[in-house]
């Protein structure tokens, strides 16, 4: 059984092929020849050359951080399926300065368009020592920002981003740091390593 931890960079799709680019390429091969560098989006196959593994869950293209890949379907389900409530921890840079009341909203659970979220573990943190993002987050002198550490036990589409938006603090940068007992510690962006399933 293979289990891989991968530090997914910003802009990389959490899949091995880009169906959108494949469709465009089939229809517009000649026109895309000159535009290929801009038209082709990076996928997992640009970083992880291990056959037969698949991501256990997803991480949006505009998010960074820990992605686990495995060739074991049961382990994949155990990691990704919300029924198992495996905690996932994110380091989140948000616009504005989050108040104690805003953080309490996240701790109680917020109502999204697809229903209320489970309560989250949330705390304000100092800016973490992360790698520079490429491209960098837009900086505005007149708008402060702050960092939060948010742990959830669900995995809805763009959930953390929607949660911070619901309390009036849009997400600027999102890095998944931990899934269960596995962390991103010591792993540079775009790098991966085989690990042992516990």
Has 60 been annotated as catalytic?
A: yes
The residue with tokens 């890949």 is 69
Phi, psi at residue 20, to the nearest 5°? -65, -45
Catalytic residue among 18, 46, 60, 114: 60
Q: Are 70 and 150 in contact (CB under 8 A)?
A: no
Q: Are 92 and 171 in contact (CB under 8 A)?
A: yes
Cα torsion angle, 143, 148, 154, 155, sign: positive
**Residue 17 exposure: Cα atoms within 13 Å on the Cβ side:** 6
The residue with tokens 């799709």 is 13
74 contact partners, CB below 8 Å, separation of at least 6: none
User: Which are the catalytic amino acids?
Assistant: 60
């Amino acid at each position: 059984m293979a289990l891989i931890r991968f530090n997914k960079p910003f802009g990389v799709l959490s899949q091995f092929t880009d169906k959108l680019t494949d469709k465009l390429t089939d229809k517009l091969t000649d026109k895309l020849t000159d535009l290929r560098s801009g038209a082709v989006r990076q996928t997992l196959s640009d970083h992880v050359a291990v056959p037969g593994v698949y991501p256990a869950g997803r991480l949006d293209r505009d998010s960074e951080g820990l992605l686990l890949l495995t060739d074991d379907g049961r382990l994949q389900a155990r990691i990704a399926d919300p029924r198992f409530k495996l905690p996932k921890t994110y380091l989140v840079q948000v616009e504005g300065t989050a108040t104690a009341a805003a953080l309490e909203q996240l701790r109680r659970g917020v109502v999204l368009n697809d229903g209320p979220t489970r309560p989250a573990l949330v705390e304000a943190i100092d800016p973490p020592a992360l790698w520079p993002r490429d491209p960098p987050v837009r900086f505005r002198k007149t708008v402060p920002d702050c960092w939060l550490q948010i742990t959830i036990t669900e995995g809805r589409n763009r959930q953390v981003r929607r949660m911070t938006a619901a309390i009036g603090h849009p997400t600027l940068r999102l890095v998944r740091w931990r899934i269960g007992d596995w962390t991103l510690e010591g792993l540079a962006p775009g790098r991966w390593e085989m690990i042992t399933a516990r």
